[in-house]
Structure 1
Amino acid sequence: MGEVLISVGIVGCGEIAFGYGNPNQPDFGPSIGSLDHASAIREVGGFDVVACVDPSSEKLARAKTVFPMAGLYRTLQDFRDAKVEVDMLVISSPTEYHEEALELAISQDIQAVFCEKPITDDPQASTRLVDKATAEGMTISVNFLRLWDDTMAELRSRIMSGEFGELQAGTGVFVKDITHNGPHMIALLSDLLGPVGINEGVTCAFARLNGEGNHGACASLSVAGANVILHKLDHELYNFFEIELHFEKVVLRLEDGCRRIVLRKPVPHPEYTKLLYPEDISVFNGNQRMALANAWREWRAFFEHGTLMRRDINWMLSQEMICHQIKAMMVEKNGDDALTKGIS
């Protein structure tokens, strides 16, 4: 694709911005893929990173090796004072700094923002900022990476076609805070199966039993007419999330945050005649290395042709709100109080 040079500022130059690329191969081709924004931007082309913001001089130095012409700024105030004009802002800083960065983007009339999840730690602040940005005509998207994974799109088509039958039940396991990995999991369930709701009575019961910080069942979701139970782990060495979905005709397991997908289809049971057992196993990988580049291709189409992003910001915000509400129930061991103090 030819040069378009959409100007970009990156706020937060850590791993998701610069750390997951291959420093020994500076010119990524389409077959390499990208796990960080810098690699994806260079792979897709058409973007000009003109500013990088981070308090770490080491991270700024790394950013400078990737984008030599970019201005380097230690704080958002330095960036603001420099009066750098950008078409788009990437917010990949720690979550506690997202609100300030979004406020800056709105005040500077920046056209678009690509934000890491969650939008902010505070659901009320997230709602306020999304409403304010939308009113100002800004387009925001959240990096729910699997939305742009072609393998997930194929799975969604197979589910929607009825190949797997109706969903019967499911389980999900996550580590860290529900608002950390949870939004990825909720967004994926919603994208694959349709709207996700909270079974409040059961979730409140889990909250009374476990409270915050303990491992175990923590939420019951209503998805496609079935119950999906979420479990929290306190194992710090694990990462991401895993989901197992039992359909009428297949058991689908999404492992390691969808890096690996396992399908178990029924075959005649070896011991019990006339019965079936989900034994026929097929294993394939997700395509997350291409997903982020696909997202940036979508951003390029947005700027060049006015193409809408795959999911709008209100849909993305609603996925995060589910996680905030679950967290409120987990924090408040009295589930009834959690409902009144949580997200309405």
Structure 2
Amino acid sequence: MKNKYKAVIIGAGRIAAGFDTPKSKAVLTHAHAYTLHSSVDLAGICDTDHEKTRAKAKKWSIRAFDNLAEMCIHVKPDIISVCTPDETHFEVLKTILKYSPKLVICEKPVTINIDHTKKIIGLYKRERIPLLVNYSRRFDTTVQNFKAKIESGEYGKVLGATGIYTKGILHNGSHMIDLVQYLFGEINAKINALYSQSDYLPTDKTVSAFLQFKNCPQFFLMGSDERSYSIFELDILFAKKRIRFLESGFYVSEQNLFSDPLYSGYTVLDKPIIRTTNLSTALSCLVENAVEHLETGAPLLCDGADAYKTQVVCSKILKKL
């Protein structure tokens, strides 16, 4: 029989407890993922905005705390989720170490400073506290199966890919970089920054760039403007088909090859077949990964080292501006 783990959430914003409700079909928050897992007891939430904390605590039928220290001393949590603004992660993650949780789940990026991220990873390694980072598409079983098919050669070689994102190279662009590294292997030396704009924070520019990865000879990263609309899409051209992840990755489009009926000798793409992915339950998979790691030592699907590699690429892109 599995143990019962006490979990708490630091931060009462959208990804913490705001995007969905206990009755929602999609699992879009840490609160929802915890409450659905039979081996987890969600025991508390805190935020510097006490009114927001109380509202989210009522929504999820959990206890509200005024601050991190009060919550951790009272609950003695096994699992802690860090869902605070990016710029607060460094101090929050350091403070958590005082309370010796069994595992910490952190929203991306680990910190906004590459040296701070490296320090945090070192501290958590020293204290033997696993750090699981929510680069959410790694926890989508559709993406996991897709990666296996790429590695098996089912689609043929990668000809090239384009990723479109908004809202900062670290805040959202790192999702794209992490996804591409996950699918195609680590980055090669080639990086060219092409364009930048500030559509999120002045300290986190949205950058367009050209990159090469181990198994992708040409990747074009296009930064769009969050002030107009949000977009996150990945378009991959293989030798045998075209795959696109659409609408933030909630849908996947597949196009097979066929002989052009009008122009003899040409091979073209067929009409797209569009299916839903499992991104809407990725947070449940993240919590399951955390529990399985604690129970059996199963590998974390995205640990601090993975997140650090992604942030290194983001930093290299920024340095090319």
Match of 1:124 in 2: 115
Alpha carbons 1:88, 1:111 under 8 Å: kept: yes
Structure number with higher strand proportion: 2
Q: State the Cα distance separating 1:292 from its structure 2 match.
A: 0.9
Do the aligned partners of residues 35 and 225 (structure 1) sit closer, same or farther apart at CA in structure 2, a change above 3 Å counting?
Answer: closer
Q: Does 1:151 align with 2:142?
A: yes
Q: State the Cα distance separating 1:71 from its structure 2 match.
A: 4.7
Counterparts of 1:306 and 1:159, CA distance in 2: 27
Match of 2:6 in 1: 7
C-alpha distance after superposition, 1:228-269 (max 9, x if no partner): 011111242422421111111111111122111111111111
Counterparts of 1:86 and 1:233, CA distance in 2: 40
Counterparts of 1:277 and 1:216, CA distance in 2: 34
The counterpart of 1:247, out of the listed 230, 238, 241, is 238
Q: Does 1:170 align with 2:161?
A: yes
Moved more, 265-274 or 63-72: 63-72
Equivalent residues in 2 for 1:214-233, closer than 5 Å: 218-223=208-213, 224-233=215-224
Equivalent residues in 2 for 1:48-63, closer than 5 Å: 48-63=41-56
Describe the SS at the equivalent of 2:272.
strand
Q: Which amino acid aligns with 2:208?
A: C
Describe the SS at the equivalent of 1:65.
helix
C-alpha distance after superposition, 1:257-290 (max 9, x if no partner): 2111111111111332011111242111111122
The counterpart of 2:198, out of the listed 213, 218, 221, is 213
Q: Which amino acid aligns with 2:303?
A: D
Q: Which amino acid aligns with 2:34?
A: I
Match of 1:339 in 2: none
Match of 2:314 in 1: 323
Q: Which amino acid aligns with 2:97?
A: I
Do the aligned partners of residues 225 and 305 (structure 1) sit closer, same or farther apart at CA in structure 2, a change above 3 Å counting?
Answer: closer
The counterpart of 2:77, out of the listed 74, 83, 86, is 86
Counterparts of 2:3 and 2:59, CA distance in 1: 19
Counterparts of 1:15 and 1:197, CA distance in 2: 35
Counterparts of 1:249 and 1:166, CA distance in 2: 8
Alpha carbons 2:134, 2:302 under 8 Å: kept: no
C-alpha distance after superposition, 1:28-86 (max 9, x if no partner): 7xxx341111111111122222331102223212232255453512x335546x46422
Alpha carbons 2:196, 2:207 under 8 Å: kept: no
The counterpart of 2:68, out of the listed 61, 76, 83, is 76
Q: State the Cα distance separating 1:127 from its structure 2 match.
A: 0.7
Moved more, 86-95 or 318-327: 318-327
Counterparts of 1:328 and 1:19, CA distance in 2: 35
Q: Which amino acid aligns with 2:63?
A: A
Counterparts of 1:68 and 1:119, CA distance in 2: 28
Q: Which amino acid aligns with 1:44?
A: H
Q: Which amino acid aligns with 1:98?
A: H
Unaligned runs of 5+ in 1: 331-344
Match of 1:279 in 2: 270
Q: Which amino acid aligns with 1:328?
A: K
Q: Which amino acid aligns with 2:15?
A: I
C-alpha distance after superposition, 1:109-145 (max 9, x if no partner): 2221100011111111011111111111110011111
* TM-score (structure 2 length as normaliser): 0.90
Do the aligned partners of residues 48 and 66 (structure 1) sit closer, same or farther apart at CA in structure 2, a change above 3 Å counting?
Answer: farther
Unaligned runs of 5+ in 2: 200-204
Counterparts of 2:32 and 2:75, CA distance in 1: 23
Deviating above 3 A after TM superposition, structure 1's stretches of 4 or more consecutive aligned residues are 66-69, 75-80, 210-217
Alpha carbons 1:49, 1:67 under 8 Å: kept: no
Q: State the Cα distance separating 1:184 from its structure 2 match.
A: 1.3
Match of 2:202 in 1: none
* TM-score (structure 1 length as normaliser): 0.84
Counterparts of 2:314 and 2:175, CA distance in 1: 10
Counterparts of 1:222 and 1:266, CA distance in 2: 25
Describe the SS at the equivalent of 1:180.
coil
Do the aligned partners of residues 265 and 68 (structure 1) sit closer, same or farther apart at CA in structure 2, a change above 3 Å counting?
Answer: closer
| Percent of aligned pairs with the same amino acid | 23
Moved more, 297-306 or 176-185: 297-306
Moved more, 63-72 or 187-196: 63-72
Describe the SS at the equivalent of 1:86.
coil
Match of 2:174 in 1: 183
Match of 1:22 in 2: 21
Do the aligned partners of residues 217 and 96 (structure 1) sit closer, same or farther apart at CA in structure 2, a change above 3 Å counting?
Answer: closer
Q: Which amino acid aligns with 2:211?
A: L
Q: Which amino acid aligns with 1:5?
A: K
Do the aligned partners of residues 53 and 192 (structure 1) sit closer, same or farther apart at CA in structure 2, a change above 3 Å counting?
Answer: same
Q: State the Cα distance separating 1:305 from its structure 2 match.
A: 2.5
Describe the SS at the equivalent of 1:146.
helix
